[in-house]
Amino acid sequence: MGHEIVTRGHCLSDARSKVVIIGAGFGGLEAAKSLRRARVDITVIDRQNHHCFQPLLYQVATAALSPADVAWPIRHILRKQQNATVLMAEVRAVDTGKRLVQIDSARIPYDYLVLATGATHSYFGHDEWAEVAPGLKRIEDATRIRRRILIAFERAELAADAAERRRLLTFAIVGGGATGVEMAGAISEVARQSLAMDFRRIDPTTARIVLIEAGPRIMPALPENLSEYVRRTLAKKGVEVMTSTRVVSCDAHGVALAHGRLDADTIIWAAGVVASPAARWLDAEHDRAGRVKVGADLSVPGYPDIFVIGDTAVVTDQPGIPGTAPPAKQMGHYVGRLIAARVAGRRSPPPFLYRHMGDLATIGRHDAVVKLGRLELTGFLGWLFWSLVHIYFLIGVRDRFMVAFTWLWDYVTFQRGARLITEVPPAERN
Ligand SMILES: Cc1cc2nc3c(=O)[nH]c(=O)nc-3n(C[C@H](O)[C@H](O)[C@H](O)COP(=O)(O)OP(=O)(O)OC[C@H]3O[C@@H](n4cnc5c(N)ncnc54)[C@H](O)[C@@H]3O)c2cc1C
């Protein structure tokens, strides 16, 4: 089990409650911030040293932004919050009887525990596909996908055989949700605009980009007219959209479909998610996606001091809450307020109520769809709105400026500044 670590903020007394927050994503960070004035000692534990702004990861994966534009050290974000301590460690287990969190080498005691460990890709029982069909979740995933896309063009330039060249210039994206659509649109722009003039033996604009969706339409969370708009816009960008098409397996040379096969060098997985193993740590009831079933105050039934939020939770009486950033932030804020009220001896806030802000997705350069209540925006107006929202939510002032400047520059010049191929592992070398 290792030794016990008791972390304490600056100039704080022993009598204060210990709040442990696992995960510094959207939910966990918001919980920590909303406890900034509470008389508690907070320990934020994350296996990464940075908070990642996942909505812009696809721009790193397609060389529009650099990793440092979309991720920030957690320590830096919480540097001014004196009651918060940050630990970089992987949580392995929770002992709910002794109230201890087990990290690699030590145990952390808690009075209140907030689990905000997010979700990861689901390969529907075929984890062996992960190697050939990476998903997009972390910075490492984005740089790996970027490397594969760029290397595919380089290898195609070298290929002597026409069929092999064709396979190298085919990109299969599995899953027609927001991430799949964003990736397909962005890869098409890499091929048709950014790289168009850079090669001599191949014509990058002939690259085949195929978006494969098992359901009858892409972007099923949007109303039918907007989902059709997205399909048409992708088609104009040269993306082939295959709906009602199930992928039955992935290998190093392409994907096998329920009816036929698609040879492709680059496969990107954007088809399913599964929650972190928090339910297993707590031995708690969960849904099919592994999300812990929580009550109206986001606590785990039977454990009034343990809360699960964000992508790891399903609120039993509000089952339709999407796995996106706004609900994770709202849940984090709510739990912070609730704990602050309890330690101060005040009345707890009313049950958590999710407020849906709307749906947005970009389809590439100057095109996006936005649905906010009855308001629907598409095209350039939609993209402008999407850009403003994403820049607004970026954490540091410098990053807001850098991202805005990089986008503006790319927009004017069609360039993608982050096109470096680095750290190629032996398995991906020629
Ligand atoms: C590619 C992509 C694009 C997206 N685009 C959008 C979008 O446009 N709009 C939108 O609203 N949402 C989007 N989402 C979804 C959104 O990012 C998630 O819903 C949101 O991040 C969930 O927040 P969370 O706090 O639950 O988890 P996360 O933000 O995923 O944070 C979980 C944290 O827990 C840490 N962690 C996990 N396990 C452990 C462990 N065992 N020990 C220690 N630390 C651990 C992780 O390192 C991570 O920092 C996107 C997601 C992805 C992957």
Q: Per-residue pLDDT tens, the chain, 430 aa: give them.
A: 567 777 655 444 457 999 999 999 999 999 999 999 999 999 999 999 999 999 999 999 999 888 988 899 999 999 999 999 999 999 999 999 999 999 988 999 999 999 999 999 999 999 999 999 999 999 999 999 999 999 999 999 999 999 999 999 999 999 999 999 999 999 999 999 889 899 999 999 999 999 999 999 999 989 999 999 999 999 999 999 999 999 999 999 999 999 999 999 999 999 989 999 999 999 999 999 999 999 999 999 999 999 999 999 999 999 899 999 999 999 999 999 999 999 999 999 999 999 998 898 999 878 999 999 889 999 999 998 988 888 887 766 667 777 777 777 776 666 666 787 877 777 776 6
Q: What is the pLDDT of residue 12?
A: 44
For the entire predicted model, the pTM comes to 0.93
Q: What is the pLDDT of residue 4?
A: 77
Q: What is the pLDDT of residue 405?
A: 77
Q: Which atom of ligand 1 is nearest to the CA of 29?
A: 25
324 Cβ below 6 A of ligand 1: yes
- Whole-number Å distance between alpha carbons of 34 and 36: 6
Q: What is the pLDDT of residue 402?
A: 79
Q: Which atom of ligand 1 is nearest to the CA of 270?
A: 1
Q: Can you give the chain as a three-state secondary structure string? A: CCEECCCCCCCCCCCCEEEEEECCCHHHHHHHHHCCCCCEEEEEEECCCEEECHHHHHHHHCCCCCHHHCEEEHHHHCCCCCCEEEEECCEEEEECCCCEEEECCEEEECCEEEECCCEEECCCCCHHHHHCCCECCCHHHHHHHHHHHHHHHHHHHHCCCHHHHHHHCEEEEECCCHHHHHHHHHHHHHHHHHCCCCCCCCCHHHCEEEEECCCCCCCCCCCHHHHHHHHHHHHHCCEEEECCCCEEEEECCEEEECCEEEECCEEEECCCEEECCHHHHHCCCECCCCCEEECCCCEECCEEEEEECHHHEEECCCCCCCCCHHHHHHHHHHHHHHHHHHHCCCCCCCCCCCCCCCEEEEEECCEEEEEECCEEECHHHHHHHHHHHHHHHCCCHHHHHHHHHHHHHHHHHCCCCCCCCCCCCHHHCC
- Report the 10 Å Cβ neighbour count for 44: 28
Q: Which atom of ligand 1 is nearest to the CA of 23?
A: 34
For ligand 1, atom 19, the nearest C-alpha belongs to 324
419 C-alpha to ligand 1 centroid (Å) = 25
277 C-alpha to ligand 1 centroid (Å) = 14
Burial class (CB in 10 A: 0-12, 13-18, 19+), 217: middle
80 C-alpha to ligand 1 centroid (Å) = 23
269 C-alpha to ligand 1 centroid (Å) = 16
356 Cβ below 6 A of ligand 1: no
- Whole-number Å distance between alpha carbons of 129 and 268: 10
Q: Which atom of ligand 1 is nearest to the CA of 55?
A: 5
Which of these is catalytic: 128, 131, 182, 423?
Answer: 182
Residue of 52, 54, 87 with the most ligand 1 atoms within 8 Å of its CB, for mutation? 54
The two three-digit tokens of residue 85, written as one number: 């301590």
323 Cβ below 6 A of ligand 1: yes
349 Cβ below 6 A of ligand 1: no
Catalytic residue status for 228: no
